[in-house]
Amino acid sequence: MNMLVILISAALLLGLAGLAAFLWALRSGQFDDLDGAAERILIDEEERNRDD
């Protein structure tokens, strides 16, 4: 029975830590521009420098 209490509390603690990390990332703007990084890899450096 003691092991069950320890496992449940550890699972809740890890779940809350994951939720806190997700909320921190959400509030700090980590998910603002999802398409920018994916499209940026396709643009050549020469084209990017030519546009400036």
Structural domain boundaries in the chain: 2-51
Output the CA–CA distances (angstroms, integers) from residue 36 to 11, 39, 41, in the order listed: 36, 5, 9
pLDDT tens-place string over residues 7-19: 999 999 999 999 9
pLDDT of res. 46: 64
CA distances from 29 to 7, 12, 13, 34 (A): 33, 26, 25, 11
Residues 23-46: tens digit of each pLDDT: 999 999 888 877 877 787 787 776
Rounded CA separation 19/25 (Å): 10
User: Which runs of E-coded beta strand occur in the chain?
Assistant: none
Tell me the C-alpha distance between 5 and 9, whole Å: 6
